[in-house]
Structure 1
Amino acid sequence: MSTQKKTGIFAGGVLFGTAGIKILASDDAKKFYANCTAAVLRAKSCVMKVVTSVQENAEDIYAEAQQINKERAAKTAVVEDEDTEETAETAEDFTEE
């Protein structure tokens, strides 16, 4: 590659870079960035509302599941107590005979 071609490519890159920086720093670009940032913040707010709702529902489901397990354990304990009493009565019957 010739020196002139390399110099031309370098100069083009510098020009493009300088123009790019000016475009990116322009008022229109700043407005665009502000609008994009505002949209992202709105989306974040929406997502956080959904996440909060899901967390609340999960907490409700968890609490209900714990209550169901407590009730089930209580019923199981009552049934086991009845079985134990019946077994004791049956054992007494056999010892009397």
Structure 2
Amino acid sequence: MSSQLSSNIKIVYVLLDGVGDLPHHSLNDLTPLEAAYTPCMDSLTRNGCMGQVISVGKGIAPQSDIAVFNMLGYSFKDGSYVGRGVIE
């Protein structure tokens, strides 16, 4: 594929905000995501392309709101972030 996306390519961003969790004994020591029935996500990962976005810096776990804003194209490197209320 060329470096420019064709106009007929469809892109879907799936933000798994808050999906990280610990294994739980009631789930046979699986995490909730590992135990979940996820046929649509399974199909997307099997048939699509995946990538990773490093929103604030490699190895830095951003706050949820900052990570989501970054995925939507906002950058607050200049310190202008005033909170998520302006969107909500």
**TM-score, normalisation: structure 1:** 0.14
* Greater percentage in helix: 1
**TM-score, normalisation: structure 2:** 0.15
Q: Which of the two has higher C-alpha Rg?
A: 1
